Amino acid sequence: MFTKSLATSLTVLGMLASQVMAQEGQKSTMGAPRPSSMNVNDPVGWFPFIGISGGYMSPNDNILTEGSPGDVKIIGSYFGESRRSVLDVGLGFMGQNFTQKSTVKNNFISGGIAELAWRYNSTNRWQIGPVVNTFIGSGGRYASTEPDLTTFAGLQLVKEIPVKGKNMFRVGLKGLGDLSIPGADISTVMLDLQWGFGHEQKAPEVSQMEPPTGTTGGTTPSGTDESQRSDVSGAMREKGLAEGATYGVNSRRVIETDPTRNAVILRNDARLQFPSGSTSLSGISEDFAQKIGDALASRSDLFDKVEVIGYADQTGSKKVNNKISKARAHSVMNGLRKGGLDPKKIQTSWKGSSEPLYQSMLPEDLQQNRRVDLKFHGVKDQAALEQLLQSL
């Protein structure tokens, strides 16, 4: 059970760990755009929650504290733009029924409650961090140093789930130790249930659709001939979209450079991404990987190695995501080899869902995270390599 020193230590360590992890998380989310207001799939800013908690308080023969505390509260949750930190500020009402009966003190009390919590928010929306609860107007029953306040602090673990695009559900567990009761160590374990509110995010209407061919000119499906419509439909199916659905993300090729490490990264939205659960390249994506292999084989003097890095979105378990990202990396590696690139020039790695481009759970953002990047090491002529990649 929690002691005062343990509760204080956990609170301080949890706060420090949350700061460090939030700062680390910013490294993979610097390019993440600010979502539209109150987007529960990619929350940034303030969101309102209604919460209910219930649990168990440990016994003490002197104070007679054993019982079942509970509370109802309204919470304001602030999500940082890094997508890695959550701050909760809550106010509400609490009550406790004591199983250790007293002849001189009330065996049921009620009052107010104030809550302050700060949690690290992981990619799959598990959250952990310090929490402080202060019971208001009940200090006398707990023999607190402050007659109207009793403070508990500890650690909170929360799982957050977006619901139907406009709500969020949280289920959490927190362990608390008293900070203001002299001569006793009182511990509390509580289950938290919270319901949050946002705005439903309507998908923007798209009047034009650009087939992912790397071209800059967009065409409407009705304005293409039969063969063009077939190509567009095939490309849409490859990206996991149904025929007739709008395709709102233009195909684009991203080339990032790191001169300090002689490295260049190639990322292609339409050709090096995968439908959910898929690990195989097919159709135009397979052809594109072989085309890259052929081009690199002709100018293998421009780099020492090409690292094929596989990724997964954040919807699966860590074990499954690592397995999928590994298979995706090997799929692209095989395409490069079929194109003629020397296997000695290729190395593979996989990172599961650890480095998403977007923290959002929106389908189009999850699609961006299911990808393979090509990272070139030991680049000899950066300009020439970039020109080669742009020509693909």
**183 plus 310 within the same structural domain:** no
Residue 269 has pLDDT above 90, yes or no: no
Note the pLDDT tens digit of each residue in 2-52.
Answer: 555 555 555 555 555 545 444 544 443 433 444 557 888 778 899 999 999
**292 plus 183 within the same structural domain:** no
Note the pLDDT tens digit of each residue in 334-371.
Answer: 999 999 999 999 999 999 988 888 877 778 888 888 99
Full domain range(s) for residue 17: 4-197
Domain count, the chain: 3
Q: What is the mean pLDDT of the chain?
A: 78
C-alpha closest to that of 350 among 365, 371, 335: 371
Angle CA 69–52–151, to nearest 5: 45
**15 plus 132 within the same structural domain:** yes
**18 plus 133 within the same structural domain:** yes
pLDDT of residue 246: 30
Where do the H-state alpha helices sit in 220-283? 226-238
The model carries a pTM of: 0.55
pLDDT of residue 265: 87
**345 plus 235 within the same structural domain:** no
Taking residues 261-278, what's their average pLDDT? 81
pLDDT of residue 113: 95
Q: How far apart are CA 65 and CA 59, in angstroms?
A: 5
CATH number at residue 89: 2.40.160
Which tokens sit at 302? Answer: 């421009």
Q: How far apart are CA 104 and CA 141, in angstroms?
A: 10
Tell me which of 181, 197, 213 is where a domain ends.
Answer: 197
**246 plus 129 within the same structural domain:** no
**92 plus 153 within the same structural domain:** yes
Q: Which residue has the tokens 């402050």?
A: 146
